[in-house]
Amino acid sequence: MSTDNALITMRDIKKVFFTDEVETHALAKVHLDILRGEYVAISGPSGCGKSTLLSILGLLDSPTDGSYLLNGTQVESLNASDRARIRNREIGFIFQAFNLIGDLNVFENVELPLTYRDGIGKAERKERTMEALERVGMAHRIKHYPSQLSGGQQQRVAVARALVGRPSILLADEPTGNLDSKNGEAVMSLLDELHKAGSTICMVTHDPRYAEFAQRKIFMFDGRVVDEETLNRLRHEEDARLSRRNAA
Ligand SMILES: Nc1ncnc2c1ncn2[C@@H]1O[C@H](COP(=O)(O)OP(=O)(O)O)[C@@H](O)[C@H]1O
Ligand SMILES: [Mg+2]
């Protein structure tokens, strides 16, 4: 049973990709709870299923099997349009590559998620868009296009776009992966501020320094969630296996 405070309850989540007669078991029996107001960091080696898990958490993809309760709604087997509607309300996604739309300016990029919602008029859209841009310190650049901004600025705009719908959770997949360390740190302090102001955040990062910002660290290995000790043991075994293979 989940606690009342759980925003996310995943049980036995599996994901299998079928491509060219190859089956990839990207997630095997993942259990995960995220509480309201928590800041969780997920790390683990490349290919272990972090992005797959985040895509399922963010309703960009559905699991092959298992149950996923998001903010009181069972979401594992919704059709695409219901998924899109719930995603728009509940989820703010931040990607490694920013994913801003090149021919929309900063204001239009941030406003965009609100234009897909019923019942939000133009004046309210403007107010909320400006509020989100102020929170990330980009309100002075509303007429700029993404190509006219630095990577760090683009990611701050992407954070504003993720915030504007007042989602119940922010999901960030390697949000600092395309940034130098100065801009990376600025984005991390921004997420830290948002968390302190009450946002629930789940971030994937391969950088242990950045995982330290989170309240709770989760580790993945080969499609499973493991504790840190298990991760280190499995890594060690894998390294030993690789060096035996290289020696042979
Ligand atoms: N759309 C897809 N089709 C087929 N295989 C995929 C797809 N997405 C991911 N995978 C595979 O699933 C595994 C986990 O990938 P991913 O979640 O991207 O790992 P990570 O983000 O931890 O690097 C990898 O083996 C990857 O090749
Ligand atoms: Mg990934």
Report the Cα 91 to chain-centroid distance in Å. Answer: 9
Q: Over 60: is that where the pLDDT of 2 sits?
A: no
Whole-number pLDDT of residue 166 = 94
Distance CA 107, CA 162 (A): 13
Instruction: Encode burial over 48-67: b for 16+ CB neighbours within 10 A, e otherwise.
Output: bbbbbbbbbbbbbbbbbebe
pLDDT per residue as tens digits for the range 8-18: 999 999 999 99
Q: Which domains does the chain have, with CATH numbers?
A: 39-63+74-219 (3.40.50.300)
Q: What is the pTM of this model?
A: 0.93
Whole-number pLDDT of residue 47 = 93
Distance CA 158, CA 154 (A): 6
Nearest atom of ligand 1 to the alpha carbon of 204 = 21
49 CA from centroid of ligand 1 (Å): 6
44 CA from centroid of ligand 2 (Å): 10
Distance CA 135, CA 54 (A): 24
Give the closest residue (by CA) to ligand 1 atom 7.
17
Q: Over 60: is that where the pLDDT of 1 sits?
A: no
pLDDT per residue as tens digits for the range 136-194: 999 999 999 999 999 999 999 999 999 999 999 999 999 999 999 999 999 999 999 99
pLDDT per residue as tens digits for the range 42-101: 999 999 999 999 999 999 999 999 999 999 999 998 999 999 999 999 999 999 999 999
Give the closest residue (by CA) to ligand 1 atom 6.
17
Long-range contacts made by residues 225-228, C-beta under 8 angstroms, separation at least 24? Answer: 225/30, 225/31, 225/32
Q: Which amino acid is at 171?
A: L
Q: Which of 17, 22, 235 to mutate to test the pocket of ligand 1 (most atoms within 8 A of CB)?
A: 17
Q: Over 90: is that where the pLDDT of 202 sits?
A: yes
Whole-number pLDDT of residue 3 = 55
52 close to ligand 1 (CB < 6 Angstrom): yes
Ligand at shortest distance from the CA of 60: 1
Q: Over 60: is that where the pLDDT of 224 sits?
A: yes
Average confidence score pLDDT of the chain:
93
Q: What are phi and psi of 6, to 5 degrees?
A: -75, 125
The 3-state DSSP class for residue 99 equals coil
Q: Over 60: is that where the pLDDT of 114 sits?
A: yes
> Is there a contact between 170 and 122 (Cβ–Cβ < 8 Å)?
no
